[in-house]
């Protein structure tokens, strides 16, 4: 494996790993805040148990998110020093604000996890909310940094020099809002479906149904709302991409030739050598509409873009198909859930629906990773769109492949342990939350 | 604003050293605790650092962010030439943080605990060792921007006696800080005695490794003497550090544990001041005598302005909240 490829793979691996934990860290505090609130309001012990059970899972995810995030802030330099040398001062603003957000999050988490008996109960609840809000803020900020890579702003690039730097403008670049919105919704969709699915599974196994059904309802509420909004936000993103990164849009849709009107391709097999797509379903004019809001508009194909600026088409196209496909499935599940709930007031006796949620456990996360693949691979060969090429940014140190293997092994084993721990947490629910006296298990 | 940013950078490094250091030290102490006392040590430690460990490690992130936003050349030079020790340190951070949390939150307490403990104690040792090695390398003058082979560029930049001595010294200091910190957390006299013993050992280790730092500095042409002996501020700081050490032991024998922490913190601060004051604002010493200074690599004006404001406003939000966290969990549960 050559060093450049290794560096790219290591970056992708670390981010792909971090993002899962980060999303859980962003979203779970809100779920906990809801059940915590219900407990404080109704005094129903079950809600207290749910909050505690969730908070233990969150502590595990949080630690993993924090260490992998620390890793990332070094990795940007370890792998892409040339990029950071120039980009650091320009796109660093969100990172410096993010530092504050992380800090507040870490402090609030300390209060929340260890404050059960020590704090005023509403202050304690509030610290939980602070964890969520600052987590969400960090997510938005870091995505604004990434958006800058897609849509560089806040500087002038003359003769290889970066001048007239304005970090505030860089932060509020053209892409930050659409990307951040889509990302936050994705975090809620993915985590919501995963959590709801796990509790649905336990309901189907007839274990502690009251506990799991209450948990399921909270998670599913967030998941359905987010999944319904996701395609709308995705459509805004697509229009945005069409404006600022026509090469990425063309790769997403495997559009080799400029067409007017352009059809939307669903599925299909991409042949990068011959620049063709076979076996795809074509919807005439739909791409023109998606990209420009007009069924007759012209959509730029890859033929209008210099060959050496083409992103890898197949990966981008497949990843996009996966994301949109899964997004559609989750939207359909959400609609079904709402209808069933509205008709029957409960989903407990709709086994098929609960099974559908179990099936959906991994879907959100797969879509999330696919979405990032679209954004990142679709930006290639650029690390800063149109300004700096990824291969010019890579570290001069040889032997990155070893580092990649090593970190792959580490992340792989960490993932296994986290899954194992989570399995144990869930298995212990009946034991730990059987009686109303849970205080022996407070720490 | 330049000054503000630099002050925050120094503060973040210092606080990471003190708070993160005590945190690592707790693991080092566990490593050097006999099997029969381990679980007691572990409990004391858990109560002491459980609620604050995440926050303690945030100082590292703050320092790194200040570096890459404000002083990109320093960040990238370190990233390239100290890639290997940085990667090892990161592995340590990953292993330690996860093991600490996993061992506490594993719902089933079985022999997995043994594995978490092993990972935790060894990574608690490795991480500050390499942090120290990195700090030493930055000053060692062995980073060679023009090296044309792998070993010179990426290995000998950090694999030298000076860096390693600084690494060991750092590790011993962390252990010392932790022992002092934990003395104040003990509930029984017997426990207290154990930690006082630990503090003694760590203190001896720190003195031995400290001497090693001086020897290796002389061997490898690091003008350490010039910084700490022939410089007024350096000398004052070293003297204060030594004085506070004497005072610390005196108070310890007297059984006054409350202000020990402050003294230990003061002592470490003075050590840091001593080694960094004389060559401030130079941050990295390169092979061939060149230096990378904070002032020459500082980022563009607007960036420093907004970074400074972000830090000031951020700390207004953070510090009261953080202070309250420490305060709240300091209160002894009698
Ligand atoms: C649960 C996850 C999830 C789901 C269901 C969807 N997306 Fe997505 N998508 C993401 C998760 C995601 C993401 C991982 O969060 C990305 C990567 C970067 C970003 O801003 O969001 C993303 C990026 C992304 C981009 C590229 C944005 C850019 O490069 O700036 C487009 C055009 C879409 N999405 C469009 C859609 C559409 C039309 C969907 C219809 C259902 C959809 N997404 C569902
Ligand atoms: C969290 C979800 C993310 C995932 C899964 C992800 C995925 C990827 C992938 C697949 C690549 C390799 C692209 C290629 O070389 O073909 C990559 C590269 C990269 N990403 Fe991301 N990314 C994420 C977010 C971010 C964010 C938030 C940033 C920065 C703020 C970022 C910065 C980079 C950089 C610097 C590279 C290397 C250079 C490049 O390939 O352009 N990524 N990422
Ligand atoms: C789309 C990409 C990303 C998102 C949405 C995201 C979001 C988050 C969130 C919400 C957290 C706190 C929750 C937790 O600790 O579990 C977190 C932690 C962290 N992230 Fe990320 N992040 C992303 C990418 C990055 C990148 C590119 C970096 C570094 C350059 C980074 C650095 C960190 C650090 C240092 C932490 C630890 C903070 C702590 O100790 O709480 N993240 N991230």
A369 is a domain residue: no
For B134-165, how does the pLDDT look when each residue is reduced to its tens digit (9 = 90+)? 988 888 877 878 878 887 778 878 888 889 99
At B48 the pLDDT is 67
Collect all residues of chain B within an 8 Å Cβ-Cβ radius of residue A398: 150
* Mean pLDDT confidence for A58-68: 84
Reported ipTM exceeds the 0.90 cut: no
Q: With CB atoms and an 8 Å threshold, state whether B321 touches A396.
A: no
Round the average pLDDT of chain A to a whole number and report it.
85
Angle (nearest 5°) at CA A320 between A318 and A325: 95
State the ligand closest to the CA atom of A238: 1
For A244-265, how does the pLDDT look when each residue is reduced to its tens digit (9 = 90+)? 888 888 888 878 888 777 888 8
For A86-126, how does the pLDDT look when each residue is reduced to its tens digit (9 = 90+)? 888 888 888 888 888 888 888 888 888 887 777 788 888 89
Residue A6 neighbours by CB under 8 Å, 6+ apart: A400, A401, A403, A404
Decide: A231 in ligand 1 pocket, CB within 6 A: yes
Count of structural domains, chain A: 1
Angle (nearest 5°) at CA A50 between A48 and A55: 95
Q: Which of B65, B106, B328 sits opposite A99 (nearest CB)?
A: B65
Decide: A174 in ligand 1 pocket, CB within 6 A: no
Q: Which domain holds residue A14?
A: 1-173+398-433
A325 is a domain residue: no
Q: Does A397 touch chain B (CB under 8 A)?
A: yes
A341 is a domain residue: no
In ligand 1, which atom is closest to the CA atom of A189? 1
Cβ < 6 Å from ligand 3: which residues?
A 18-19, 21-22, 25-26, 61-62, 65-66, 69-70, 72-73, 76, 102, 105-106, 135, 138-139, 142-143, 183; B 54, 58, 61
User: B27 is written with which tokens?
Assistant: 């693991």
* Per-residue pLDDT band at A227 (split at 50, 70, 90): very high
A427 is a domain residue: yes
DSSP string, A32-97: HHHHHHHHHHH--HHHHHHHHHHHHHHHHHHHHHHHHHHHHHHHHHHH-HHHHHHHHHHHHHHHHH
A20 Cα: distance to centroid of ligand 1 (angstroms): 15
Collect all residues of chain B within an 8 Å Cβ-Cβ radius of residue A414: 94, 98
User: Strand, coil or helix: what is B312?
Assistant: helix
Give contacts of A 61-80 with B, CB under 8 A.
62-64, 66-71, 73-78
The pTM for the full model equals 0.87
Distance separating alpha carbons of residues B272 and B4, to the nearest angstrom: 19
CB A134 within 8 A of CB A102: yes
In ligand 2, which atom is closest to the CA atom of A315? 16
Q: With CB atoms and an 8 Å threshold, state whether A397 touches B154.
A: yes
CB A156 within 8 A of CB A164: yes
Detail the DSSP E strand segments found in B193-321.
Answer: 282-285, 291-293
A108 is a domain residue: yes
Residue B326 has pLDDT above 80, yes or no: no
Q: Which of A66, A118, A424 sits opposite B328 (nearest CB)?
A: A118
Collect all residues of chain A within an 8 Å Cβ-Cβ radius of residue B93: 67, 70-71
A243 is a domain residue: no
CB A177 within 8 A of CB A9: no
Residue A348 has pLDDT above 80, yes or no: no
Among A201-210, A270-279, B47-56, whose mean pLDDT is lowest? Answer: B47-56
User: A57 is written with which tokens?
Assistant: 């899972």
Distance separating alpha carbons of residues A58 and A67, to the nearest angstrom: 14
- How many other C-beta atoms are found inside a 10 Å radius of the C-beta of residue B232? 9
Q: Which of B61, B76, B101 sits opposite A77 (nearest CB)?
A: B76
For B69-95, how does the pLDDT look when each residue is reduced to its tens digit (9 = 90+)? 888 888 888 888 888 999 999 999 888
* Per-residue pLDDT band at A437 (split at 50, 70, 90): very low
Q: What does the domain layout of chain B look like in residue ranges? A: 2-219+301-321
Q: Quote the DSSP letter at residue B257.
A: -
Q: With CB atoms and an 8 Å threshold, state whether B80 touches A396.
A: yes
Angle (nearest 5°) at CA B48 between B46 and B53: 80
Phi then psi dihedrals of residue B293, to 5 deg: -105, 150
Residue B51 has pLDDT above 90, yes or no: no
CB B73 within 8 A of CB A85: yes
- Counted residue by residue, chain B has a size of 334
């Amino acid at each position: 494996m050559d060093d450049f490829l290794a560096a790219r793979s290591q970056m992708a691996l670390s981010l792909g790993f971090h993002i899962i934990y980060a999303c859980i860290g962003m979203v779970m505090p809100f779920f906990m805040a809801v059940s915590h609130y219900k407990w404080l309001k109704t005094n129903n012990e079950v809600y207290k148990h749910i909050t505690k059970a969730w908070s233990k899972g969150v502590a595990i995810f949080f630690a993993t998110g924090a260490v992998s995030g620390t890793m990332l802030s070094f990795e940007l330099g370890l792998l892409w020093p040339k990029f950071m040398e120039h980009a650091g001062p320009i796109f660093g603003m969100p990172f410096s604000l993010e530092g504050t957000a992380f800090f507040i999050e870490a402090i609030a988490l300390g209060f929340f996890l260890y404050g059960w008996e020590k704090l005023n109960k509403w202050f304690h609840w509030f610290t939980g909310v602070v964890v969520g809000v600052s987590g969400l803020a960090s997510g938005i900020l870091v995505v604004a940094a990434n958006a800058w890579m897609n849509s560089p702003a806040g500087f002038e690039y003359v003769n290889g020099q970066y001048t007239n730097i304005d970090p505030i403008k860089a932060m509020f670049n053209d892409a930050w809002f659409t990307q951040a919105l889509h990302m936050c919704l994705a975090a809620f969709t993915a985590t919501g479906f995963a959590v709801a699915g796990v509790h649905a599974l336990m309901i189907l196994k007839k274990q502690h149904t009251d506990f799991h059904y209450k948990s399921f309802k909270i998670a599913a509420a967030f998941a359905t709302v987010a999944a319904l909004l996701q395609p709308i936000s995705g459509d805004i993103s697509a229009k945005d991409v069409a404006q600022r990164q026509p090469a990425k849009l063309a790769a997403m849709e495997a559009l080799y030739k400029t067409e007017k009107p352009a059809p939307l391709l669903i599925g299909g097999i991409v042949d990068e050598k011959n620049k063709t797509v076979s076996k795809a379903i074509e919807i005439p004019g739909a791409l023109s509409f998606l990209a420009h809001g007009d069924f007759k508009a012209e959509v730029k194909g890859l033929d209008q873009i210099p060959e050496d600026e083409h992103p890898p088409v197949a990966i981008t196209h497949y990843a996009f198909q996966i994301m949109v496909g899964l997004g559609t499935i989750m939207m359909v599940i959400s609609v079904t859930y709402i209808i069933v709930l509205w008709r029957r007031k409960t989903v407990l006796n709709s086994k098929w629906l609960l099974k559908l949620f179990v099936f959906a456990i991994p879907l959100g996360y797969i879509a999330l990773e696919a979405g990032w693949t679209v954004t990142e691979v679709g930006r290639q060969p650029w690390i800063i769109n149109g300004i700096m090429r990824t291969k010019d940014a890579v570290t001069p140190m040889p032997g990155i492949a070893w580092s990649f293997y090593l970190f792959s092994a580490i992340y792989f084993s960490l993932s296994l342990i986290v899954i194992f721990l989570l399995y144990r947490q869930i298995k212990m629910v009946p034991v730990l939350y059987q009686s109303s006296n849970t205080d022996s298990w407070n720490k | 604003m330049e000054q503000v940013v630099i002050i925050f950078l120094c503060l973040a490094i210092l606080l990471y050293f003190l708070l993160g250091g005590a945190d690592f030290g707790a693991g080092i102490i566990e490593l050097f605790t006999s099997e029969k006392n381990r679980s007691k040590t572990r409990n004391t430690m858990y109560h002491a650092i459980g609620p604050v460990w995440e926050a303690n490690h945030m100082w590292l992130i703050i320092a790194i962010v200040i570096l890459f936003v404000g002083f990109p050349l320093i960040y990238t030079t370190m990233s390239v030439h100290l890639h290997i020790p940085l990667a090892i340190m990161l592995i340590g951070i990953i292993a330690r943080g996860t093991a600490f949390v996993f061992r506490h939150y594993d719902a089933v307490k079985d022999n997995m605990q043994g594995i978490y403990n092993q990972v935790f104690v060894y990574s608690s040792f490795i991480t500050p060792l390499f942090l120290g090695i990195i700090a030493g390398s930055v000053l060692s003058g062995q980073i060679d921007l023009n090296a044309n082979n792998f070993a010179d560029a990426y290995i000998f930049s950090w694999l030298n006696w000076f860096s390693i001595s600084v690494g060991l010294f750092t590790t011993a200091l962390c252990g010392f800080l932790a022992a002092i910190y934990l003395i104040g957390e003990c509930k029984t006299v017997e426990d207290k005695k154990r930690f006082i013993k630990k503090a003694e050992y760590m203190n001896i280790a720190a003195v031995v490794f400290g001497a090693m730092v001086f020897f290796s500095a002389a061997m490898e042409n690091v003008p350490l003497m010039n910084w700490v002996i022939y410089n007024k501020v350096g000398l004052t700081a070293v003297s204060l550090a030594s004085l506070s050490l004497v005072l610390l032991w005196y108070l310890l024998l007297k059984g006054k544990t409350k202000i020990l922490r402050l003294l230990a913190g003061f002592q470490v601060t003075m050590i840091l001041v001593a080694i960094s004051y004389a060559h401030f604002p130079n941050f990295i010493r390169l092979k061939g005598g060149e230096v990378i200074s904070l002032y020459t690599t500082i980022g563009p004006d607007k960036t420093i302005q907004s970074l400074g404001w972000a830090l000031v406003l951020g700390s207004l939000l953070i510090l009261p909240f953080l202070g309250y966290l420490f305060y709240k969990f300091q209160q002894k549960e009698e």
